[in-house]
Amino acid sequence: MLAPLPASDWNETTAAHLLLRTGFGATQQEIQECAAAGLDASVDRLVDWEKTPDPTADPEWAKPDPTLAEQRRALRNLPEEERRMKFQEFQRQQREQLHELKQWWLERMRNGPRPLQEKLTLFWHGHFATSAEKVKIAYFMWRQNDIFRRLGNGPFRNLLLEVGRDPAMLVWLDGAQSRKDAPNENYGRELLELFTLGEGHYTEDDIKAAARAFTGWTVNRFNQTASFQKFNHHDGRKTFLGASGNFNDEDIIDQILGQNQCARHLSNRLWSFFAYQNPPAALADSLGDSLYRLNYDLRPFLKAMFRSREFYSARAIGTQIKSPVQWLLATAKSAEMARFPGRAAIGLLTQLGQNLLEPPSVKGWDGGRTWVSTTTLLLRQNAAKLFVYGGDPGGVMFNREDMARRLEKLQELRKTEGKEGAPMEDDPMMARMERMKNRNNKMPAMIDPRKLAPAGTPDDNAALIESLLRRFYPTGAPAAAGKAFADYLAQSPDKSLEEKTKGLAYLMMARPEYQLT
Amino acid sequence: MKTRRQFVHSSMMGLAATWTLPSFLDATILGLDARAADSAIQTATGKDSPILVVLQMGGGNDGLSMVVPFADDAYYRSRSQIALARDSVLRLDDYAGLHPNLAGLKGLFDNGDAALIHGVGYPNPNRSHFRSMEIWHTASDADKNEHYGWIGRYFDSACQGQPPTAGVNIGSMPPQAFLSAKPMGISMASPNRYKLIEPGDIAVADARDGQMVPMMADGENIAGSRSGSSIESLGAANPANDGLSNLQYLERTALDAEVSSQDIQRIVSAHKSATPYPSSRLGEDLKLIAQLIAGGLPTRIYYANLGGFDTHANQKPAHDRLMKEFSEAVTAFVADLKEQGNFNRVLMMTFSEFGRRVSQNGSGGTDHGAAGPMFLFGGAAKAGLHGKHPSLTDLNNGDLKHGIDFRNVYATVLEKWLKVDSTPVLKRKFATMDLLKA
């Protein structure tokens, strides 16, 4: 088992590290409370999140729609043209709901009372990476998200089984179309390669056997549930990972979990996400053994990880490149953002390379350095500027040129639909795009300097720098920066406290070090 | 010829963009510069060196709808709904011709500006987009996994000490092909957004200017103190950048971003193209590349992307549109380069991760296949047709067999165009082909 952090090393820096990694940012007050509560109690509170009430309501549409079956039947009798229009209307509605879902989730991450629950949900979303681009039904995406939220800290077996029977996954990796006489291997392959064992620890025949064992599970598009069709299940002998029998999906999962390699693969993924990438071999061994011995029960494993001395080592603290979501939400928290980009946040995150619920492939986001390119780094710096000073959002919160091009395409489409003259309000998405395209220099600042340096703050340069650094760099200020900030203030001694605060906040967020957490 | 260090400093002087001078500067860049300054590695990045433009056709382009085997009955038998009518095809020879929307491209062939390579692929083709793209990007065998990209290995072996704009990807995230041991190359989605917005608070800019002087002095001192020591030991003391920490990586990327954004802003405001381009995404991307070429950005490889080729259902309207976009954009690009007088120093190469199945599927589309055509455009390309069109009846699991390994094309471009040894880039020797004018 991992060696625990000695009590003497528990302080505001280690507490801040715990909160940043298990959540999406932390205020000064939260850090102090966490440090005072102690390591064990803090970890328990984070991992045993069920004990913290969460009053957030699900999106209003997040349930099966019983009228859908009737609607679909009615569609069949319509003339082709009308059917097409109805279908487009349906697609528009799904896109709207998906957008709502993204915001709903982001809001939970930002303000929800159970940060680790959302952080783990994000981890599982990246692990079982499923994209709405193919799934298309917003309710299915919500339902999968909810599986991660409900089962994220429990036994991995439950989660794995549920994911295999999840409508979104059945659509995403083609299980819904798998037939007993022609099994689709897509899910079987990714299950072994990405979700459990990792490449090189199974054969092509194992994939085929798994695919056969999973046949029968499909999506009922009418009542929007997964269902098992016995007649379509391959009811026969299979050989999988060296064992033979008439296996079904549960048997396959048990065979996989019986391999130490699965524990090794999964624990490595968890460690890379929460602590740092590429743990040394000895640590990887001990993490894998630990998860295996715990019978894949994630709750005690997570606690051991977050209590371990290694989790607070120099290799871990302040070394991880912030994902776009982490960057945005930690900024909102640290700067006590007076406003939040809200709907526009989704566009910003997409431009920064993390479009929630639409990962680039089944491999999820590679993370680490791949979050940062010359373009996304400039974008992060420009967004920081926009947060502090306000300004034209067109080059930051969305891509104005792309928007214009998409709008043009949509307008052409309307022409072919014969709706050329119809008012834009017909289509809320187009209307919104039109408004955004034309919005110039109008976004107000989102950070209020009076929150960063409240009235009564003494106008003392050194003290101001010190307090802002604590805010923006909770686990430690960048070594080389101190002098630069002092020099900046020294440039123009006549500045108001408010102007100085804004300038410093921007400069602190524009630094390369700010991209680390 | 400026070394990287001088380059960094002079551009900082100009606009004082990076007030946050990276702490690693002495540890990495200076070391690299010192090495590069004294070695033959520092090949010309100036006005006359060859440029490669790679155009990725993402999603799996249906080669048989682009280069149509109109004389083959098997084509019409396999594709009852989506086959292109025999008399609509723009004939290249007695067997195959171009999609009717490729009129501009046909003009390039007639003019001797374009080359087509039939049936390019690799052994044991993989039909996953993700994996097959990875194979094309890393130039690895289908059963091996490589981390770094083929262009990245070219950067590593031939571009050290050059400015980051040795590689320019049009898009916000670099393709895997660019992944190198030592960070190189920039990614830019659009020049309008590829810059630091000037802070509303002017005093911030003042402060940045104020920062430059001491930083410059520091930099010079470091350089001065080291210029006496042996170049080799400097290289050894500063091992390759693959040892960069995440912070050093970020500092490096920030510096690359700021330096390159100034160059790019300067060039795009100074060089406007007189050639009309279509208003498509690809049109704009190629127009930008042409501007950067005209402005003399010291770039060896540009990378652009045309997506949307994953046409499983109702393929025809989508593919027709893509062909039009492709043809119009490339034709304008070629005309622009000729106008600039740069057509002879630019070679454009297209590829897609795979072609599509010979037989259409039940939904008027095509599923993932294997071999497909590649194109070369440029004054140096040996115009015309290369290789044999793959047979439509002698198939591998319903897919075209490749006649040419894409790595033979890469090797040719590396050796004969970029003039580097292809073996360290492709990890072994691949024969070159006769694709370029002598």
Question: At residue A311, does pLDDT exceed 60?
Answer: yes
Task: Please give the interface size between A and B, counted as residue pairs whose CB atoms are below 8 Å apart.
Answer: 138
A144 CA to centre of own chain: 13
* B positions 256-285 inside 8 Å of A (CB): 256-258, 260-261, 279, 281, 284
Whole-angstrom CA distances from A8 to A19, A35, A39, A306, A474 are 18, 12, 11, 16, 19
Cα-Cα end-to-end distance for chain A: 26
CB contact under 8 A, B173 and A376: yes
CA distance A372 to chain B (A): 8
Instruction: Give the C-alpha separation, A323 to A515, whole Å.
Output: 9
Best-predicted range by mean pLDDT (A385-389, A435-439, B425-429) = B425-429
Measured between CB atoms, does B134 come within 8 Å of chain A?
A: no
Alpha helices per DSSP H over A4-137: 12-22, 28-37, 39-47, 68-76, 80-111, 115-127, 132-135
Question: At residue A243, does pLDDT exceed 80?
Answer: yes
CB contact under 8 A, B194 and A375: yes
pLDDT computed for residue A25 by the predictor: 96
CB contact under 8 A, A395 and B130: no
Instruction: Give the C-alpha separation, A249 to A233, whole Å.
Output: 10
CB contact under 8 A, B245 and A507: no
CA distance A276 to chain B (A): 11
CB contact under 8 A, A491 and B203: yes
Residue A243: phi and psi, rounded to 5, are: -105, 155
CB contact under 8 A, B187 and A377: no
Whole-angstrom CA distances from A61 to A74, A142, A346, A355 are 21, 10, 20, 21
CB contact under 8 A, B201 and A502: yes
Question: At residue B221, does pLDDT exceed 50?
Answer: no
Q: Nearest 5 degrees, angle CA A184-CA A189-CA A194?
A: 145
How confident is the model over A29-87, as pLDDT tens digits?
A: 999 999 999 999 999 999 999 999 999 999 999 998 878 778 778 888 888 888 888 88
How many contiguous H segments (helices) and E segments (strands) does chain A have? 25, 4
pLDDT computed for residue A416 by the predictor: 64
CB contact under 8 A, B187 and A373: yes
Taking the CA atoms of chain A, what radius of gyration do you get in angstroms? 25
pLDDT computed for residue B177 by the predictor: 96
Q: Nearest 5 degrees, angle CA B129-CA B134-CA B138?
A: 155
Query: Considering only CB atoms, which chain B residues are within 8 Å of A499?
Result: 201, 203
Cβ–Cβ under 8 Å, residues A190 and A173 = yes
Locate B162 and state its tokens: 């050059």
How confident is the model over A89-100, as pLDDT tens digits?
A: 888 889 999 999
- Residue A363 is classified by DSSP as T
Q: pLDDT band for position B31 (50/70/90)?
A: very low
How confident is the model over B308-325, as pLDDT tens digits?
A: 998 888 899 999 999 999
pLDDT computed for residue B23 by the predictor: 41
Interface mutation vs chain A, best among B15, B197, B252, B284, most A CBs within 10 Å:
B197
Measured between CB atoms, does B187 come within 8 Å of chain A?
A: yes
Q: Nearest 5 degrees, angle CA A330-CA A474-CA A465?
A: 105
Of A372, A484, A502, the CB nearest to B211: A484
Comparing A396-410, A436-450, B93-107, B258-272, the range with the smallest average pLDDT is A396-410
Helix, strand or coil, per DSSP, at residue A466 = helix
Of A381, A503, A512, the CB nearest to B196: A381
Which residue of B lies nearest to A362 if distances are taken between CA atoms?
B130
CB contact under 8 A, A375 and B257: yes
Query: Considering only CB atoms, which chain A residues are within 8 Å of B258?
Result: 378
Model-level pTM? 0.85
Of A321, A377, A492, the CB nearest to B246: A321
Query: Considering only CB atoms, which chain B residues are within 8 Å of A368?
Result: 246
* B positions 21-60 inside 8 Å of A (CB): 22-23
* Mean pLDDT, residues A382-409: 79
- Pairing type for strands B186-188 and B167-170 reads parallel
Query: Considering only CB atoms, which chain B residues are within 8 Å of A382?
Result: 193, 196-197
Locate B393 and state its tokens: 């009846």
> Which residues, other chains included, contact A494 with Cβ-Cβ below 8 Å and sequence gap of 6+?
none
CA distance B185 to chain A (A): 9
Question: At residue A307, does pLDDT exceed 60?
Answer: yes
CA distance A363 to chain B (A): 9
CB contact under 8 A, B253 and A373: yes
> Which residues, other chains included, contact A517 with Cβ-Cβ below 8 Å and sequence gap of 6+?
A20, A21, A318, A320, A321, A322, A326, A330, A475
Helix, strand or coil, per DSSP, at residue A245 = strand
**Secondary structure of A108-168 in HEC code, one letter for each residue:** HHHHCCCHHHHHHHHHHHHHCCCCHHHHCCHHHHHHHHHHHHHHCCCEHHHHHHHHHCCHH
Query: Considering only CB atoms, which chain B residues are within 8 Å of A472?
Result: none
Higher pLDDT residue, B13 or B144?
A: B144
CB contact under 8 A, B172 and A378: no
pLDDT computed for residue A427 by the predictor: 67
- Residue A292's region, left for phi above 0, alpha for psi from -120 to 50, else beta, is alpha
CB contact under 8 A, A321 and B251: no
